[in-house]
Amino acid sequence: MKKNELQSAEEKFQFYKERRDEFNALAREAREERDLINEERKKIKEELQRERDARDSIVALMKEHKERKNEYREKILAIKKYMRELRRNSGNTVEAEYVRVEDEIKKIERELQVRPHSLRDENKLIDKLRALTRRKEELKKEIEKKNQVLGEVKDLEGELANLQILEEKERKELSNLYEEQNKHHKRVLELKEKLKYLTEKMDEKHQEYLKYREKADAYHQKAQEMLKKIIEIKGEYRKKRDEERAILENLEKEAKEKTEMKDEDVEKFIEALKKKKKISYP
């Protein structure tokens, strides 16, 4: 009975040990796969940070260029408004009036030289000539002022053209930076998706690892319990063998002392005892 129990215990121990080793191997494989995925995650995270830094750096540059572009745009609008006011205030009638007044002066002068007039009429013509001469001087000053304004407008047109060139340069730079920033941003989104996928796979492998470790630990516990049982059974076998050996030695000793049998007779006597089931160990 004990022999069958020992054999069964050893078979179970071997089975538990093999299952433990199988699950340990699966756990090790899952752990290695998990660690490989984690290494890939680290690389992706490093690249993701680089792409984010590049994108954010470009965004900062875009902000600077946009501020300059807006500054140029404000100056352009202000200059255009000022130029419109200058042109509106200067008008186009001053030169025409000046020519008309000058022609009127020449006409009066010619009339005074060519035709005789009464003193009264002559004085009227002279007063009118003086008034026209004063108006001519006023118009001359207005024309000079207008020419100064037009000169300022011309200077402003040059400044305006320069500002428009600078604004266009900033606009093109902004467009190029936007494309570059957009490229990095798309890469950031791709890497985030990849990182999410790898994180999920790593978690799956970690759960597999824990599941296999749990099973391996359970079979290891069973194997340990069965090993303890085997040791107990073998301990009982040894104890019984020792007891039977002691009985056998005592029987041999008693047989010699009491019967003074020869050795071969003692052997026969022991065999007889064994057949009668007095002892079970040879």
Residue type, position 122, single letter: E
Torsions phi, psi of 179, nearest 5? Answer: -65, -40
Residue 271 corresponds to which amino acid? E
User: Does 90 have pLDDT greater than 90?
Assistant: no
Say what percent of the chain tops pLDDT 90. Answer: 43
pLDDT bin (cut points 50, 70, 90) of residue 140 is confident
Average pLDDT over residues 34-56: 95
Higher pLDDT, 216 or 122: 216
Rama region for 207: left / alpha / beta (φ>0; ψ in -120 to 50; rest):
alpha
Helix (H) or strand (E) holding 7: helix 2-90
pLDDT attached to residue 89: 60
Tell whether the model's pLDDT for residue 203 goes beyond 90: yes
How does pLDDT run across 158-193, given as a tens digit for each residue? Answer: 888 888 899 999 999 999 999 999 999 999 999 999
**Residue length, the chain?**
282
SS3 252: helix
Which of residues 37 and 121 earns the better pLDDT score? 37
- How far, in whole angstroms, is CA 181 from its chain's centroid? 14
pLDDT at site 281: 40
Cα 89 to Cα 78, 142, 257: the distances in Å are: 17, 11, 156
- Residue whose C-alpha is closest to residue 161's, from 253, 72, 257, 49: 72
Q: What is the pLDDT of residue 282?
A: 40
User: Structural domain boundaries of the chain?
Assistant: 2-263+265-275
- Evaluate if pTM is beyond 0.85: no
Which pLDDT tens digit goes with each residue over 249-275? 666 666 555 555 555 555 665 565 555
CA distance 74 to 52: 32
130 and 179 Cβ atoms separated by less than 8 Å: no
* Helices of type H across 91-118: 94-114
Q: Which two tokens stand for residue 27?
A: 């756990």
